[in-house]
Amino acid sequence: MTNNKGFTLIETIVAASLLMVIITTLIPAANLLMSERKAMEQKYTIVNELHSKLQSSLWNNRHPSNFVKEIDGTKATFSFATERDLLKGCVTWTNAQKREDEFCLYGYPYK
């Protein structure tokens, strides 16, 4: 009687192919998650800057002019307009996924 306590070649090939399938599935998912995280960090930073500019404009009761500012290597365009009693501030930029993104905030001027 022979001693067969090791893996056969077929079992090793099957295990290696399963490992490769798992790896080829996880790498693109990890890249997508990192890209999404970078886009969310950009959005947080840019929206925070918009909030800061809008807040100071509301407290000082002055209408800010439109401007372009580079934030963390991303060019963001800030625009402000009055809609009814509200001051509307919007920012547009190209995010980390090369998509055009826009975010707007509204506020009542301080009286």
Give the strands of the sheet with 86-94, arranged side by side: 67-71, 74-83, 86-94, 100-107
- Structural domain including 75 reads 9-107
Q: Has residue 52 been placed in a domain? A: yes
Q: Has residue 93 been placed in a domain? A: yes
The one-letter amino acid at 47: V
pLDDT tens string 4-51: 666 788 888 999 999 999 999 999 999 999 999 999 999 999 999 999
Can you give the pLDDT at residue 57? 86
Q: What does pTM read for this prediction?
A: 0.75
* Mean pLDDT value across the chain: 89
Q: Has residue 94 been placed in a domain? A: yes
Distance between CA atoms of 63 and 81, rounded to whole angstroms?
Answer: 8
Distance between CA atoms of 91 and 67, rounded to whole angstroms?
Answer: 10
Domain tally for the chain? 1
Q: Has residue 53 been placed in a domain? A: yes
Distance between CA atoms of 108 and 72, rounded to whole angstroms?
Answer: 29
Q: Has residue 3 been placed in a domain? A: no
Can you give the pLDDT at residue 111? 64
Q: Has residue 30 been placed in a domain? A: yes
C-beta atoms surrounding 60 within 10 Å: 11
Q: Has residue 4 been placed in a domain? A: no
